[in-house]
A and B are shown apart, each in its own frame.
Chain A
Amino acid sequence: MIQTMTNPPSVTAVELTNVEVTFNDTQVLQNLSFSLADGEILCLLGPSGCGKTTALKTIAGLVIPQQGQIELFGETVFSDMQGNTPAEQRSIGFIFQDYALFPHMTIGQNIAYGLAGLSKSEKQQRIEESLQLVELHDLEQRFPHELSGGQQQRVAVARALAPKPQILLMDEPFSNIDGQVKRRMMADLRKLLKDHNISCIFVTHAKDEAFAFADKTAVMVAGDIAQLDSPAVVFNQPKNKAVAEFMESGNVSSLRHSQQVLDNINHQWPKDLDNSGYWLFKPQHIAIKRSLQSTGIQLLDCTYIGRGYQYEMSIQTDTHNSNKTIIWKAENEQALEINIGDNLALEYTSTPHWLNT
């Protein structure tokens, strides 16, 4: 089996300090700083154009930053003072979104490509090990176009891991694979990385991939990391409005709107905060029932979401003499006997989460 370099626990595999990247006067990465421990899997999550792929390519050495410092296992590979280590000299495996398999080479030749310096028999052994690792041992002589999307992805994994990299970087590796296959592949790949203690950073815009695959999740907004923590913490306790909205953690409302809404429902939380900032209301903590009186809250839609039902409602607010409608979501395990257009009464059964601006 493939043996990858193992390092003592708590070694920092990747460390970025104040990295800045600018393309044509547009700052794509702004003072990007984070670190990743050896053997950990980090997901860079964020909307399109937030700079996550650029961050990945910067770590790989395919994009050279204007400022900052990048260290891999304690060794500086980029520093604005010292210079840059070329991509081919960093011990990094990279899986591209389109896999970038060389179309004119067989699967075996694709894997052997990165094994310069080994004897022919060593190369063959490594090819066989790599293909066994991804369970494609009988496809060595095939060409990439003869494989399915899932098989191509596994070849890309085998090719990236064959040279025994210390770090694996993946750019939206699961975006071209669907459903059941995707879940199984994520589980297999995660096990593989953990078994061989390979540090990994992968980029995606899909939350479910971060939840299923990563130890830590970093949500990127406008070229910087807004929050880095375990997926559960990022989802349940988003640090700010941008993270909460991207993660779809719940209903985000400004303090003014929230107070006005909450005046009408059962609440037990301090209201003496200033007017800046936001509350996050978890849909599963909102209890709704039909009201015979006009409450200014109306049911807009009801959707079955597997774990229960999601109810979307409009809430009329009146702030500084201007009317505004906000949309909230509530969740309930059982279907409620309410119809679209009905007036609703709300009850919040927990303490909302406070968000910074």
Chain B
Amino acid sequence: MNVKRNASPSIAGLLVSTSTTLIALIMLLPIAALIYESIASHFVSVPELDTTFSDLADSVLSHYIFNSLSIVSGTLLFACLFAIAPAWWCAHYEFTGRKVLQWLMIFPLAIPAYISAYIYTDALDYAGPIQSSLRQVFAWQSPQDYWFFDIRSHWGASLMLGLALYPYIFLLLRNTFENRSQNLTQAAQIMGATPRKIFWTIHLPLARPSLAIGCTLVAMESLADYGTVQLFAISTLTTAIYDSWLVYGSLASAAKISCLTLLFVITLVALEKNSRKKQQHFDSRGGKACPKEKASNIKSAFIWFICGGIVCLGFFIPLLTLVSYCFDYWRENMNEVILTHSQSTFLLAATAALVATLLAILFNSQQRFIPSTKNQFKLTLSSLGYAIPGTVLAIGILIPLGQLDLWTNQFITSLGFEKVGLIFSGTSFALILAFVIRFSAISNGSIQAAYKTMPPNLDAASTMLKASKFKTFTKIHFPIMRPAVITAFLLVFIECVKELPASLLLRPFDFETLATYVYQFASDEQLEHAASGALLIIVVSLVPILLLSRSQKMH
């Protein structure tokens, strides 16, 4: 045994620390660029020429803020409504077809909210088949003769987003409920608690960390949504940013509104962290998971009715509508272009998902091995991208990458070579970077949750058995968290396939992803002509969902 004098970090440790610092800084770059842009515009440009932001602030900005918060709250309400009770039923009861149902409940994750929104608008609008049929049956002549749910409203947009996003909460909560300790349930039973009381006072509070993570994911997604709110003509902070840049051409205003949006996001993240701060749950060997209770026939039918209804609304109705569009417009839908777009989308999404998952493992394992405020800060920084709406992120990426392209070309030409063009901002590199920055929070969340359930004594035991940190990671951490790694990869993959606003702005010239291809048709009110593309997005998103269900089953 040798005493290490003034023990200094190893070269590997130093390398990891430096890399994570650099990566965290790169992840922060778009935000820094936006803040720089919004501040620098005061000094560099002539304020009189760009009054977009002050005009907005004087007139409709408060309205945009209210709309954004209203959409976020409404989406959370619907998502919790669709997720909490079904997650409990699937975890607590044994009933016919439970495995199929809990599998189906994740399917809506495959349908982008703007596609559902388009389909439901088409169906529920005044001129749609439902209202038309009702008017025929009841002989109503005009809208004044009856009341009908207005889908083009805050509630409508929240419902569409809630239907598309609730599986995040469902997945996390079901996992937590499945692993709830039998001892706790029995202890509560012995003390006279009814099943209802046990749920509200024991299981739901213990599932709070999962609920908080799920709700934060849903809130951030809904805050960043562009497609749905734009389709419903609801002006939110995201659409304001988009309009500021693309309609009014004011990058500075877009940057300022982005900074405002970020404030809301930081508040959300802080609330989530605060709600979990005092709750640490280690899945130690102590408690066995509760066995499932056999549900009566009536209860089973009720569960199937409610959950089946949710799945129909969130998945089967949009899916069948798209299938019918495909049949009705088969000539427009069957072409090779769609195959090319699907291949490029798949490749992009897989690359971004792989990078995001590897980074999540790197950041989280660093914090596990060397817990420190600095490492936690880096981890938080690497998750911030999820908060940045796709449009804003795209602009935040274009600013530094454009500058990098400029410097690169200047350097190349100074050496006597020809210009290489926009090799950073004009290629798939920008898109992958955007996806990684945007969706690292998802992979981080998944890996972080896996680490939280891993008792710290496993690390200590490994150390006492003379294992290096690398061995502890490869032999202990990684095998235990493998399901979480698969989950992280798949969740990021799905998000990348569905991602729209950043893809719209960052796609290279003459390059389409499936999402941009479909959205262009939807915004022209011709989704019927791109139904096969939309179906492909759903299919591509479904494959990982099927694998996810399988990996969860194995886990």
Chain A residues proximal to chain B, CB less than 8 Å: 57, 60-62, 72, 75-79, 82-94, 96-104, 113-114, 116, 144-145, 152, 159-160, 163
Contacts of A163 in B (CB 8 A): 465-466
Q: Is B139 an interface residue (CB 8 A)?
A: no
Q: Within the complex, what minimum Cβ distance (angstroms) separates A74 from chain B?
A: 10
Contact A96 B1 (CB under 8 A): no
Partner of B3, one of A79, A93, A144: A79
A92 and B464 contact, CB distance less than 8 A: yes
Give Cα A78 to B538, complex, Å: 60
Complex: A90 Cα to B1 Cα, angstroms = 6
User: Does B277 reach chain A (CB closer than 8 Å)?
Assistant: no
Q: Which residue on A lies nearest to B2, using beta carbons?
A: A85
The answer, yes or no, to whether B295 is at the interface (CB within 8 Å) is no
A94, B475: Cβ atoms closer than 8 Å: no
Report chain A residues within 8 Å CB of B6: 83
A98 to B455, CA, bound (A): 9
Other than the given A85-B2, A144-B285, A152-B285, 16 more pairs (CB < 8 A) read A62-B463, A75-B1, A75-B3, A76-B3, A87-B464, A88-B463, A93-B464, A94-B461, A94-B464, A98-B286, A100-B455, A101-B285, A102-B475, A104-B480, A113-B465, A113-B467
Kindly name the residue among B5, B286, B466 whose own CB sees the greatest number of chain A CB atoms within 10 A. B466
How many Å lie between the Cα of A249 and that of B11 in the bound state? 55
Bound CA span A62–B463, Å: 8
Known contacts A62-B460, A94-B461, A98-B457: A116-B1 contact under CB 8 Å: no
Contacts of B475 in A (CB 8 A): 102, 113
CA distance A82 to B466 in the complex (A): 22
Chain B residues, Cβ within 8 Å of A152: 285
B4 within 8 Å of A (CB atoms): yes
Inter-chain contacts of B466 with A (CB < 8 A): 88-89, 114, 116, 163
Query: Max chain B CB contacts within 10 Å: which of A83, A92, A99, A101?
Result: A83
Q: For B480, list chain A residues within 8 Å (CB).
A: 102-104
Residue-by-residue, is B393-417 near A (CB-CB < 8 Å gives 1, otherwise 0)? 0000000000000000000000000
Please tell me if the beta carbons of A96 and B467 are within 8 angstroms of each other in the complex. Answer: no
Query: Is A85 a contact of B1 with CB atoms below 8 Å?
Result: yes
Determine the chain B residues whose CB is within 8 A of the CB of A82 once the complex forms.
3, 5
Chain B contacts of A113 at CB under 8 A?
A: 462, 465, 467, 475
Instruction: Evaluate contact between A102 and B458: CB separation under 8 angstroms.
Output: yes
CB–CB A72/B1 < 8 A: yes
What are the interface flags for B6-18 relative to A under an 8 Å C-beta threshold, 1 for contact and 0 otherwise? 1100000000000
Smallest Cβ-Cβ distance to A63: which chain B residue: B460
| Residues of the B chain whose Cβ atoms lie less than 8 Å from the Cβ of A96 | 457, 460-461
Known A100-B458, A113-B467, A114-B466; judge A85-B285 contact (CB<8 A). Answer: no
The residue of chain A having its C-beta at the shortest distance from the C-beta of B460 within the complex is: A62
Mind listing 23 A-B residue pairs with CB under 8 Å? A57-B460, A60-B464, A75-B1, A78-B3, A79-B3, A82-B3, A85-B1, A86-B4, A87-B463, A89-B2, A91-B1, A92-B464, A96-B461, A99-B285, A102-B458, A102-B461, A102-B475, A103-B285, A114-B467, A116-B471, A144-B285, A163-B465, A163-B466
Chain B residues, CB < 8 A from A103? 285, 480
B residues less than 8 Å from A91 (CB atoms)? 1
Q: Say how far B168's CB is from chain A's closest CB, in angstroms.
A: 27
Residues of chain A lying within 8 A (CB to CB) of residue B286: 98
Select from chain A the residue with minimum beta-carbon distance to B463: A87
Best-buried of B1, B465, B476 by chain A (most CB within 10 Å): B465
How long is the Cα–Cα vector from A62 to B464 in the complex, in angstroms? 8
CA distance A57 to B464 in the complex (A): 10
Given A98-B457, A100-B455, A104-B479, decide whether A88 and B464 contact each other with a Cβ distance below 8 A. yes
* Smallest CB separation, A13 vs chain B (Å): 13
Residue numbers in B under 8 Å from A61 (CB-CB): 463
The answer to whether A84 and B4 touch across the interface, beta carbons within 8 angstroms, is: yes
Roughly how many angstroms separate A97 CA and B456 CA in the complex, as a whole number? Answer: 12
Give A98 to B459 CA distance when docked, in angstroms.
13
Task: Give the nearest-CB partner of A162 in chain B.
Answer: B465
B465 to A83, Cβ gap below 8 A? Answer: no
A346 to chain B, nearest CB (A): 43
Measured CA separation A83–B1 after assembly (Å): 12
The CA-CA distance from A100 to B456 in the complex, in Å, is 9
Q: Does B552 contact A (CB under 8 A)?
A: no
Residues 96-126 of chain B: 1 if any A CB is under 8 Å from the residue's CB, otherwise 0? 0000000000000000000000000000000
Complex-state Cα separation, A61 to B2, whole angstroms: 13
Q: B71: shortest Cβ distance to chain A, in Å?
A: 42
Residues in A with CB closer than 8 Å to B463 are 61-62, 86-88
B284 at the interface (CB under 8 A from A): yes
Is B460's CB under 8 angstroms from A85's CB? no
- Which residue from chain A places its CB closest to the CB of B468 in the assembled complex? A88
Q: Return chain A residues, CB-CB under 8 Å to B457.
A: 96-98, 100
Report whether B465 and A114 are in contact in the complex, using a CB–CB cutoff of 8 Å.
yes
Bound-state Cα–Cα, A86 to B461, Å: 14
Which residues of the partner chain B approach A159 to less than 8 Å between Cβ atoms? 465
Shortest Cβ distance from residue A253 to the other chain B in the assembled complex, whole angstroms: 40
Q: How far is the CA of A350 from the CA of B129 in the complex (A)?
A: 102
Expressed in whole angstroms, the minimum distance between the Cβ of B355 and any Cβ of chain A is: 26
In whole angstroms, how far apart are the Cα atoms of A96 and B5 in the complex?
A: 29
7 tightest Cβ-Cβ pairs between the two chains A and B: A114-B465, A100-B461, A100-B457, A94-B464, A88-B466, A83-B5, A96-B457
CA of A93 to CA of B2, assembled, Å: 18
Return A117 CB to nearest CB of chain B, in Å: 9
- In the complex, the chain B residue whose C-beta lies closest to that of A60 is B464
- Tell me the nearest residue of chain A to B6, going by C-beta: A83
A102 touches B476 (CB 8 A): yes
A77-B3, A83-B6, A102-B476 known; A88-B467 Cβ under 8 A: yes
**Given known A88-B467, A113-B475, A163-B465, contact A100–B4 (CB-CB < 8 A):** no
Q: In angstroms, how far is the closest chain B Cβ from the Cβ of A112?
A: 10
Give chain B interface residues in 323-381, CB to chain A under 8 Å.
Answer: none
| Chain B: CB-nearest residue to A91 | B1
| Docked complex Cα distance between A145 and B3 (Å) | 38
Type the 1/0 row for B157-172, where 1 means its CB is closer than 8 Å to any CB of A.
0000000000000000
Query: Contact at A84–B465, with CB atoms within 8 Å?
Result: no
CB contacts (< 8 Å) of A86 on chain B: these are 4, 7, 463
Query: How far apart are B453's CB and chain A's nearest CB, in angstroms?
Result: 11
On chain A, the residues within 8 Å of B461 by CB distance are 94, 96, 100-102
Closest Cβ of chain B to A189, distance in Å, is 18
B381 to chain A, nearest CB (A): 25
Nearest B residue to A78 by beta-carbon distance? B3
- A83 proximity list for chain B (CB < 8 A): 3-7
A88 CB, min distance to chain B CBs, angstroms? 4
B181 → A minimal CB distance (Å): 14
A60 to B457 alpha-carbon distance, docked (Å): 13
Query: Which residue of chain B has the shortest Cβ distance to A149 in the bound complex?
Result: B285
- Give the CA-CA distance A91 to B471 in the complex, in Å: 18
B7 surroundings in chain A (CB, below 8 A): 83-84, 86
Q: Among B4, B7, B457, which residue has the most Cβ atoms of chain A within 10 A?
A: B457
Q: Shortest Cβ distance from B127 into chain A, in angstroms?
A: 58
Max count, chain B CB within 10 A of own CB: residue among A84, A98, A116: A98
CB contact between A98 and one of B2, B4, B285 (< 8 Å): that residue? B285
In the complex, what distance in Å separates the CA atom of A159 from the CA atom of B7?
29
A99 partner residues in chain B, CB cutoff 8 A: 285
* Minimum Cβ distance to chain A for residue B475 (Å): 7
Q: How far is the CA of A76 from the CA of B285 in the complex (A)?
A: 36
Pair A85/B458 contact, Cβ less than 8 Å? no
A-contact 0/1 string along B469-506, CB 8 Å cutoff: 00100011001100000000000000000000000000
Residues of B within 8 A of A114 (CB): 464-467
Q: Give the docked Cα–Cα distance between A82 and B1 (Å).
A: 13
